[in-house]
Chain A
């Protein structure tokens, strides 16, 4: 068979075998040859074999030449005295099964082409098996779907060893079909549960794979959206679970809850929280079940807490969640790093939302304003340009807090009464203090910052300034803006002549650096 080497020769040989098997049942043993090539080391040959298998079993499935029903063991059938046709069918079904086993192994093959081909072959079998089920329906109109097959695929995709993100991206195409999505969600729930049971230390790769798969599942927003099916059916009885969005949601919720109940690595926490408010919470059947996860994440601290805020906000706002000490924790979240993290815009957007209520007590708002202005002493200019208007907005919304910038008859103090270490905003004595920090920032080196800080010198004007356009401001935008700004007249010049690279005698550079 392999007298002429190379993939071309293999292809031709396989083609011949394939035709022989399909032509007469007598040649059925050639299947072994095909399956043997499937074990080949060479990628090209394996691919050829996969293609051949796909055609072979595809044709057999369509012809109905595979045994339908509970598969008996091969030996018993062969020994038994059933008809030759039945024997053939059972035998062929066993070959089919061994072919599937091999394909599942190929899903973690080092070569991406092979993996992709195996995946598409699997999906083709899924489609054909759905159309020509290998199980007997229990009653009329019973919904048959090759669950086992799909589960095998999902298991292959959620490999604990390999990074399957590319393959998952390929698999995403199939997830557009509602039935595939539904069953994938179920299979994924199972797989995650099984893998975490089996391994005490689940590897990071698995979590990443699982997250990639889970996050690529997106439910339609409306019931009507469920209409595209991978396995074609004539009519869709209402009794099938797969046609109801509610069932989809349940499955979705089960999948995510099953995933999130485990102890996830921190990087994954962030990823989940980033998509939480947008693509997870709206699709859950019962969003309040996320409370546990979110509160836990909120308690972690740092950036994760910031991210959890968003989900929590949705729960509080739309699902009536009562969260004790919410503002206290929010206050605790304010540390110098909030100005430097990636999610600064999101955090301040939410903080703006939380503090927009006019029913908040004055001491709380004052504490926030004072804390923010204290932190502003360490912030870069782009953050300052955002946080200074924010502070001014707080003072505008809460006239009781205006004493922070205007205390005409206040006594002169020895020190700032504000206690930055105090975690409870109520005890921080912010209301007794003044925003001297803003006064210091009026001497900031950037002209716009100092301008923004100088707002407090005058009585605050009434209309609030929305900070929304400032949230996403980056230093590079500030830089470009400064570059483009045209001064009137010519550029002013330094009048002290330069003498050397390090400048004058009393410059810091000249004092501390040498050129040699």
Chain B
């Protein structure tokens, strides 16, 4: 007997006194059994749970229960075999006998319905849907007013199956003769007998079905007859027509669906061609959207993650940004104002493709291509689309190769014709290099272009990875070109466009590649800084990478995975690399330009840039007098480089003309004669002044603009005072100073944003949920719960102990009564024996007496 069971049983008894065992609590108990616990004082709000009880009844119930359970166990304690009653729900007290019967019946049914084989389709079983028989549903659909049929279900009509599934209805009927053939013959096993029984019952069922069908037919016929008579009886024609309609075989929903599908979506009218203005408008809207997203990112509002996704994603989209790219070209070329461009482009593309398809036999194609009358304009448009990507052609083009455009065109044309049309995507950097090395600038471009077209991701599966790699290789190639002596900047200039296109296709891998080269550069610098405390300016390749990073990614973002590291990298270049030569100055100024370009939209503040410009101005100033400024790290106030940019030769000053600095000077520019060097110096100073001016314009809205530019202003004053510069520089100086001198906006004291006022502490009482009276309240919820559980456990434990004690008492009582019974029995038997002995003795004595008497 379980320990806790009686307690639980008792409890349940208390909740539902009408349990199966134990005396049922009567509605009005016997007043002699009722015991009332008198309360000494009535306490308000306390529920008296045990005010009235029936000790006698409950004790009797307990004893009864024990005799049912404990006593039984006690009696069977030495017995090893057990009788288990497996009848369903036999001992369940919660089920009524009816329920029990129902359940047993259901189980029985289930057992009978177990299939012999899952492939046996003929065994009929009801198919249901939502608890309703499918056959039933069908019937309802087909026959409107047939209330009599309740059992005929589960078969599709023969013509239906014939129509949809090509027949098979005969199967049903084939079974019977087979079975009949099997009958008769050898004695059958039990299993066979059962099968036969089942078969018989099925047959009966089928017969019944057939009968019912017959009945149905008869009713229908009757209906028809009735109709005929009805028309005669009452002249209600519409109704009869209605009936007539019903007569016709109703079109099946399935058939209707099939037809519908057949008719649907043959062709839809496409949107009409958009007019030029519409396209321009669309383009404008697109640009506005992009700009809005850019602004959002600039202000660091993290929302624009999906802003760049194309609105519509087709199922065939490879998710490679292809759509965007194509979109770009078409729309932008419309901005050009040339209607024909798109057509020509597409034609060009088509040409290219057909050429590709035709493979390597190019020699035949060549004359045709070159003899093309408008070949030149074709090429030009091609050039436009590549280089300008639809920039307004009205704008003056950038300097490189300005004079040699036509020559370039011819060269490119030649290159186009001489090169093979297909290129495998390079698997390694060496491969790419071998493809490109030894070719002219135009040829290299064409090669890269063709690699891209041949391996467009829409053409084959692996092309995406190939092109992703191509980006890295191109980047490496550009680095190599930049470190060459002399650097091949023109090629880089053209390759940037290809990089941009690739980057638009694969932003993630492109950003990884750029990050990789940046990390390389930084590691190199870190090593140098750790070893010597300073690092030399890196080669032109790093500068080019930085510039490229700024062109591929939006530089105005508050936080960008590529741009932010690039910014830190540039900051390092400007703070850790001392300026030791003219070359370093050019590099430093280039970095400054890139840096300032990065922030040109966001107008963010760059302390390093101001410091660097200050340093450059310092090393260019001929006479250092006032020290109202302090130079910071890479520059020293004195030393051999403190007059690096000072030009003292009057003649050189006079002959100097302002030109852009050449990037060639940034790397290994040697054999510069003195005049050229002096001119470079002056150009550097000019660039520096222009940058100062740019800074002044950018930062004039900053709150402490005055403090930021104070040293710059002081130095510029010196420069002006020196009057040692050519007039053009003097002017530049003046204008920069004018920008710096802008009246300081009035300083408004800082005020913190108002924080929400903290609510005053109020003295409202704290409300605590009272869980149990008489217990400590006011602790945390967990603590209360814990205490409640402890209490409960204690109570249950006590109850269990009490029950065990009572069990023991009960058992002892039973044992005692058993012993007493046994003793009494023994006594009785002894008495009986004595009795019989006494009788025997008496008899014997009587006999003896009789003998003596006799």
Contact = CB atoms under 8 A, between A and B. Distances in A.
B597 interface: yes
Q: What are the 8 tightest A-B residue pairs by CB atom distance, in nearest-first order?
A: A340-B633, A410-B749, A489-B305, A407-B749, A498-B500, A445-B604, A497-B389, A436-B703
A443 B603 contact: yes
SS class, residues of chain B in contact with chain A: helix
A353 interface: no
Interface string B269-294: 00000000000000000010010011
Nearest to A417: B747
B707 A437 contact: yes
B575 interface: yes
Nearest to B594: A509
Contact of B607 (A380, A415, A456, A486): A380
- Summarize A's interface: helix, strand, loop or mixed: loop
Interface string A478-516: 111011011111111111011111110101111111111
B387 A499 contact: yes
Contacts of A502: 398, 493, 547
Contacts of B199: none
Contacts of A475: 568, 571-572, 575-576
A405 B496 contact: no
B571 to A, nearest CB: 6
B755 to A, nearest CB: 5
Interface string B556-593: 01111110110111011001100000000000011011
Given A421-B628, A443-B605, A458-B755, 6 more contacts: A459-B755, A478-B568, A494-B552, A497-B328, A498-B496, A512-B661
B508 A490 contact: yes
11 contacts: A340-B632, A421-B628, A439-B704, A483-B565, A491-B507, A497-B389, A499-B387, A507-B593, A507-B597, A515-B490, A516-B664
A406 B596 contact: no
B660 A514 contact: yes
B751 A487 contact: no
A408 B751 contact: yes
B707 A514 contact: no
A446 B567 contact: yes
A441 to B, nearest CB: 7
Contacts of B592: 508
Given A380-B607, A443-B702, A483-B519, A491 B747 contact: no
Given A377-B704, A439-B703, A443-B702, A413 B746 contact: yes
Given A445-B604, A512-B687, A493 B496 contact: no
A124 B840 CA distance: 132
B367 interface: no
A114 B687 CA distance: 60
A336 interface: yes
Contacts of B489: 501, 515-516
Contacts of B744: 414-415
A405 B748 CA distance: 11
A261 interface: no
A316 interface: no
A379 to B, nearest CB: 6
A427 B390 CA distance: 62
Contacts of A507: 593, 597, 600
Contacts of B490: 515
Contacts of A340: 575, 632-633
Given A493-B504, A508-B593, A515-B663, A404 B752 contact: no
A492 B702 contact: no
A439 B332 CA distance: 41
A503 B550 contact: yes
Interface string A438-452: 011101111100100
Contact of B691 (A415, A436, A508): A508
Given A337-B632, A499-B388, A493 B750 contact: no
Interface of B: 287, 290, 293-294, 297, 300, 302, 304-306, 308, 328, 332, 387-391, 395-396, 398-400, 489-490, 492-494, 496-497, 499-500, 503-504, 507-508, 510-511, 515, 518-519, 522, 526, 533, 544, 547-548, 550-555, 557-562, 564-565, 567-569, 571-572, 575-576, 589-590, 592-594, 596-600, 602-608, 610-611, 628, 630-633, 659-664, 687, 690-691, 694, 702-708, 744, 746-753, 755
Given A378-B632, A475-B572, A479-B565, A515 B493 contact: yes
Contacts of B547: 501-503, 509
Contact of A445 (B497, B567, B663): B567
Contacts, number: 294
A113 interface: no
A511 B589 CA distance: 12
Nearest to A458: B753
A381 B519 CA distance: 18
A483 B561 CA distance: 6
Contacts of B662: 513-516
Nearest to B389: A497
Contacts of B519: 479-480, 483
Contact of A381 (B293, B389, B568): B568
A406 B750 contact: yes
Contact of B559 (A405, A447, A459, A505): A447
Contacts of A446: 564, 567-568, 571
Contacts of A139: none
Q: Which of A384, A483, A485 has the most CB of B within 10 A?
A: A483
Given A414-B747, A459-B755, A479 B308 contact: no
Given A336-B630, A337-B630, A340-B632, A492 B660 contact: no
Contacts of A374: 707
Contacts of A497: 328, 332, 389-391, 497, 500
B565 A436 contact: no
Contacts of A411: 749
Nearest to A405: B750
A476 B9 CA distance: 75
A423 interface: no
A407 B751 contact: yes
B663 A513 contact: yes
A415 B706 contact: yes
B395 A516 contact: no
Contact of B750 (A439, A489, A498): A439
Nearest to B691: A508
B483 to A, nearest CB: 15
B702 A503 contact: no
A458 B507 CA distance: 37
Contacts of A493: 308, 503-504, 507, 552-554
B607 A377 contact: yes
Contacts of B572: 380, 475-476, 479
A491 B575 contact: no
Contacts of A435: 750
A402 B610 CA distance: 29
Contacts of A247: none
Contacts of A41: none
A410 to B, nearest CB: 4
Nearest to A408: B751
A415 to B, nearest CB: 6
Interface string A418-437: 00110000000000001111
A502 B630 CA distance: 33
Contacts of A457: 752-753
A492 B297 contact: yes
Contact of B703 (A440, A459, A486, A515): A440
A460 B753 CA distance: 10
Contacts of A445: 567, 598-599, 602, 604-606
Contacts of B396: 505
A416 interface: yes
A342 interface: yes
B566 to A, nearest CB: 9
Contact of B660 (A483, A487, A512): A512
A335 interface: yes
Contacts of B611: 336, 378
